Amino acid sequence: MHRARLSAAASGVLALATLLAACSSKPIDQTAGWSPNRIYAEAKDEINSGGFDKAVPLLETLEGRAAGTPLAQQAQLEKAYAQFKNGERAEALSTLDRFIRLHPASPALDYALYMKGVINFNDELGMFSFISRQDLSERDQRAAKEAFESFKELVTRFPDSRYTPDARARMIYTVNALAQYEVHVARYYYNRAAYVAAVNRAQQAVSDYRDAPALEEGLYIIMQSYDKLGMTQLRDDAQRVLEKTYPNSQYSANGFKPKSTPWWQIW
């Protein structure tokens, strides 16, 4: 019996020690007792010093403690920025979508739309890697199109916003990029004698992206593809459109080696 009591006592001590060890390993909330303003200041310091991964949890804590206040809304926007800079693109977009949904009348809505566009715009720049890829038909243009839609909503709803001029410039750039993409795909098909596919992609560019510099090459690809297909009437129609739209076309004079300035150098 005495041994049993000792065993029970030892078990109790062991259980208490285990419990204390578990309690001691529990993360300590460093922000306990901090005011919302102090949390915000600490998060901003982390952002300014490049500690984006440390800023995100601080801003999430601030969202909860300052719920229902303008500071909580600011925390959401700052968190989206920190996530974006930390390479968490999907998380940043999700944060912005939540902000736009929950705060449709916020005075910072223009900034949220701008940030959403910028995040997709930066992702869209990766599309230019298609130039060195063999299969151009599988590239995803969704990010570019979503960037354009965000900028378009900003420009339409907030024409006097401080972010609108830059958004307009990025819209033009994105349209040119999308048109260039379609034309490169059309040329890819043309070079592989897939002339019907080449016509379809080039016509898609001409139809969707008016005034983009890449359309000159697009019309030339249409004309040449119809010529290869033996469709002389459609070839002549395409040639008339090309010559009327671009009377000094370098493509008509030099084929696929134009001397004109690349569209991206207009910036």
**Tens-digit pLDDT profile for residues 3-35:** 545 455 445 555 555 555 555 455 677 887 899
- Is residue 89 very low, low, confident or very high in pLDDT (cuts 50, 70, 90)? very high
Cβ atoms of residues 46 and 69 within 8 Å: no
Cα 116 to chain centroid, rounded: 7
Residues sharing a CB contact under 8 Å with residue 99, sequence separation 6 or more, in sequence order = 73, 76, 77, 80, 106, 112
Q: What is the pLDDT of residue 158?
A: 97
Q: What is the pLDDT of residue 223?
A: 97
Q: What is the pLDDT of residue 172?
A: 92
Which of 9-23, 177-191, 201-215, 237-251 has the lowest average pLDDT? 9-23
214 has a pLDDT exceeding 60: yes
pLDDT tens per residue across span 98-117: 999 999 999 999 999 999 99
Most confident of the following: 12-21, 93-102, 141-150: 93-102
193 has a pLDDT exceeding 70: yes
pLDDT tens per residue across span 36-78: 999 999 999 999 999 999 999 999 999 999 999 999 999 999 9
- If one counts every other C-beta atom within 10 angstroms of the C-beta of residue 260, the result is 15
pLDDT tens per residue across span 217-253: 999 999 999 999 999 999 999 999 999 999 999 888 7
* pTM score over 0.75: no
Which one-letter amino acid corresponds to residue 79? K
Give residue 262's region: left, alpha or beta (phi > 0; psi -120 to 50).
Answer: beta
Cβ atoms of residues 183 and 221 within 8 Å: yes
Report phi then psi at 118, rounded to 5.
-65, -40
SS3 of 193, please?
A: coil
Burial 100-129 (b: 16+ CB within 10 A, else e): beebeebebbbbbbbbbbbbbbebbeebee
- Is residue 130 very low, low, confident or very high in pLDDT (cuts 50, 70, 90)? very low
260 secondary structure, DSSP code: S
Alpha-carbon distance of 45 to 39, in angstroms, equals 10
